[in-house]
Structure 1
Amino acid sequence: MEIDAAMRRKIVVSLVSVGAFFALFIGIGATYGPDLGETGGLALVGAIALFVLVMAGVGLVLQD
């Protein structure tokens, strides 16, 4: 089964977006340590909200 160019582009963009999300989580963990506290918790909630918005935007851009 061959994957056409458009599908490959969608896969790559999705993987990069998820990778950036994980990197952001790791960065927040490295910054605030194991005890996130109030500020770290807000940073995690903000990261999740940002991820949802970015994935929605990626979906809109990549729709056929």
Structure 2
Amino acid sequence: MSDALDARVEAGIAILAVLVFIGILVAAASMGASGFGATSAYAVVAAIVVFILLMAGVGYWLSGKQE
């Protein structure tokens, strides 16, 4: 693939990962019926952990693609 196409694919994957993170945060914020409770807080922490692992996996996969 060309360099421009590779850059677009990498940017698209990063944007998709951020959208997944935002979606999890929105779902976490709406979990508590009476506001932001303990369940919502655990969901936010889980969202952060999932985002970090997802971005690490994407970074590892993209670094292997460059060769």
**TM-score of the superposed pair, with normalisation by structure 2:** 0.81
Residue of structure 1 in register with 2:47 after alignment: 47
- Structure 1 gaps of 5+ residues are none
Query: Relative CO higher for 1 or 2, CA cutoff 8 Å, sep ≥ 6?
Result: 1
Other-structure match for 1:7: 7
> Which residue of structure 2 aligns with residue 59 of structure 1?
59
Q: Distance in 1 between matches of 2:41 and 2:30?
A: 13
CA contact (8 A) 2:28 2:40 kept: yes
Structure 2: tracts of 5 or more residues without a match? none
- Superposition RMSD on alpha carbons, in Å? 1.6
The answer for the alignment partner of 2:23 in structure 1 is: 23
- One-letter code aligned to 2:13: V
Q: TM-score, normalised by structure 1?
A: 0.84
The residue number in structure 1 matching 2:38 is: 38
Superposition misfits of 4+ residues, deviation over 4 angstroms: none
Paired residues, number? 62
